[in-house]
Amino acid sequence: MTKERILSGMRSSGALHLGNLLGALQNWVQLQKDYEAFYFIADWHALTTGYADTAQIRTWVREIAIDYLSAGLDPDESVLFVQSQVPEHAELHLLLSMLTPLAWLERVPTFKEQQQEIKDRELNTYGFLGYPLLQTADIIMYKANWVPVGADQVSHVELSREIVRRFNHTYDRAVFPEPQPKLTEVPKLPGLDGRKMSKSYDNVIYLSDSPDTLSKKVKVMMTDPARKRRTDPGDPELCPVFDFHRIYSTEADRQEVAHGCRTAGIGCIDCKGKVIDRMVEDLQPLHEKRAHYTAHPDEAMDVMRDGSQRARQVAQETMAEVRDAMHI
């Protein structure tokens, strides 16, 4: 029985954090067993907003490669690659651009949202408008059936479906299947200040943070503001630390902590200490692998280079079909 294909990727615009691990990577690790999986690092996508300051891009590619491998993505199970090492993506993007109406790109919600959000950079660029079309090329190059992504990316997968229909119809050949987004329930993981964990809020725990750094960060994490003094009772429902307990602690510990919080029977320092221990324990295998690859970063990049070659073979087959269908 042939497995269905999935493909997903992350932009190399910074180091990955716990939100990326719980929201995506852990899910990808599960999926690689049941699907033929392609996972990649979208370094060209990082240029769509970061074109002016590229000094760090290679560093991020390397760090994310290390994060992927440390999180458990396995080159024996999945094809792990770097977008810019498979230049066929650029060719497909160009060819698709010929048949993509501007209006389709202009109405993708992330286009206007991000332009409004990111004020410090000129984003009225051709590349930025084409972001979801490049993403379409990434996806359909491998004829992926499923794209595991967060809700914010669904409109991009939707565009891919429209492009596929238009391509297959225009050239009268069913070259591409229509990809579908694959949404999974993910636990709510707030950042250190209680807002969504996000690099831009500077409230994250990086996968590269040592147990010591992690511990220091959680120790100064926001709690229920009602607990000004040790004797003030609190409400775990209003505390982001308790969201960490929900993810990492046993049911028994969670109940004990919740009760202690409500009755001021436990102090925040002890409550945090308990969850820190669980987090460090949970992350230990990741931290160990990370230490190995950090000492041998070339190994991680070799894995990505091998994977990129495998991806390229598939990409070249697809491009042969595309050129043939288009009479190029």
Residue with Cβ nearer ligand SF4 (37 or 221): 221
Residue with Cβ nearer ligand SF4 (175 or 264): 264
CA–CA dist 180, 7 (Å, integer): 10
CB of 45 to ligand TRP, least distance (A): 5
Q: Which residues contact 213 (CB under 8 A, 6 or more apart)?
A: none
CA–CA dist 5, 179 (Å, integer): 9
With CB under 6 A as the rule, give the number of residues binding ligand SF4.
14
Q: Is 268 in the site for ligand SF4 (CB under 6 A)?
A: yes
CA–CA dist 288, 71 (Å, integer): 10
**Residue 287 binds what, of ligand TRP, ligand SF4, none (CB under 5 to 8 Å, by partner type)?**
none
Structure tokens that stand for 118 in this block: 């990111």
**Residue 153 binds what, of ligand TRP, ligand SF4, none (CB under 5 to 8 Å, by partner type)?**
ligand TRP
CA–CA dist 152, 148 (Å, integer): 11
Residue with Cβ nearer ligand SF4 (74 or 277): 277
Q: Which residues contact 10 (CB under 8 A, 6 or more apart)?
A: 16, 20, 24, 41, 42, 64
CA–CA dist 279, 248 (Å, integer): 6
**Residue 7 binds what, of ligand TRP, ligand SF4, none (CB under 5 to 8 Å, by partner type)?**
ligand TRP
Q: Is 42 in the site for ligand TRP (CB under 6 A)?
A: yes
Q: Is 100 in the site for ligand TRP (CB under 6 A)?
A: no
CB of 186 to ligand TRP, least distance (A): 14
Q: Is 241 in the site for ligand SF4 (CB under 6 A)?
A: yes
CA–CA dist 240, 223 (Å, integer): 6
Q: Is 266 in the site for ligand SF4 (CB under 6 A)?
A: yes
Element holding 18 (H helix, E strand): helix 18-20
Q: Is 239 in the site for ligand SF4 (CB under 6 A)?
A: yes
For ligand TRP, the binding residues in 128-157 under the rule CB under 6 A are 135, 138-139, 147, 149, 153
Q: Which residues contact 175 (CB under 8 A, 6 or more apart)?
A: 167, 168, 318, 321, 322, 325
CA–CA dist 39, 28 (Å, integer): 8
With CB under 6 A as the rule, give the number of residues binding ligand TRP.
13
Q: Is 45 in the site for ligand TRP (CB under 6 A)?
A: yes
**Residue 239 binds what, of ligand SF4, ligand TRP, none (CB under 5 to 8 Å, by partner type)?**
ligand SF4
CA–CA dist 271, 233 (Å, integer): 13
For ligand SF4, the binding residues in 206-235 under the rule CB under 6 A are 223-224, 227, 234
Binding site for ligand SF4 (CB under 6 A): 223-224, 227, 234, 236, 239, 241-242, 257, 261, 266, 268, 271-272
